[in-house]
Amino acid sequence: MNYLAHIFLSGDNEDVIIGNFIGDYVKGFEFSKYSEFVKKGIILHRHIDTYTDKNMIVRLSKSRIVSRYRKYSGIIIDIFYDHFLILLWNEFSYCPLDEFVERTHGILEKHFDVLPEGIRFFLPSFIRTNWIQKYATIEGLREILTRMSSRTTLPDETDYAIHTLTTEYDKFRTEFQTFFPSLMSYVSKTFGIQLGPDLSQKIAY
């Protein structure tokens, strides 16, 4: 999962949100230096990633882009799935999206001193450009992928990724809608985090 899903799956505890947000930047046992609930968020982040990587529905989504992205396929699908999470936001959350994003920005700024250096460098741009809401549009996704491929080791295959998403759009959307309720259920049961409406009728394992 990418930024939006990780934040959403953290529930309401600010420290858990921070831990989940910084999860990719905290390696090995480095998490032990953080407070109890930030540690919980970091561990939650790792469990979400493991659950997602092993899921057969997610693997089906990855199979459409693996020829170009290979080991980075999961990153692209995470971004695609954040797009569908925004698109279908009201199905999964009681909180209006604008309010959720504003609250998230406030929490990240409030806890700025806790953030690893890499995120401190990135955060002002993340907030200023409203990175989360860019997931809502295809052009926003294109911008995110272009920026990531220019600043990280992500392959520069943005045109291919966007073409695949648009041509296989309904399949990706159905896979997300099938997978995400099961991930929410897993997080709720494993970590005791209350998440959105009752999705028991939508869950497919």
- Looking at residue 193, its pLDDT comes to 94
Rounded to whole angstroms, the Cα distance separating 57 from 175 reads 6
Rounded to whole angstroms, the Cα distance separating 185 from 51 reads 12
Question: For residues 165 and 172, is the Cβ–Cβ distance under 8 A?
Answer: yes
CA 63 to chain centre: 19
Question: For residues 131 and 148, is the Cβ–Cβ distance under 8 A?
Answer: no
What tens-digit pLDDT sequence spans the chain (205 residues)? 789 999 999 999 999 999 999 999 999 988 899 999 999 999 999 999 999 999 999 999 999 999 999 999 999 999 999 999 999 999 999 999 999 999 999 999 999 999 999 899 999 999 999 999 999 999 999 999 999 999 899 999 999 999 999 999 999 999 999 999 999 999 999 999 989 765 444 444 3
Question: For residues 37 and 192, is the Cβ–Cβ distance under 8 A?
Answer: no
Question: For residues 58 and 77, is the Cβ–Cβ distance under 8 A?
Answer: yes
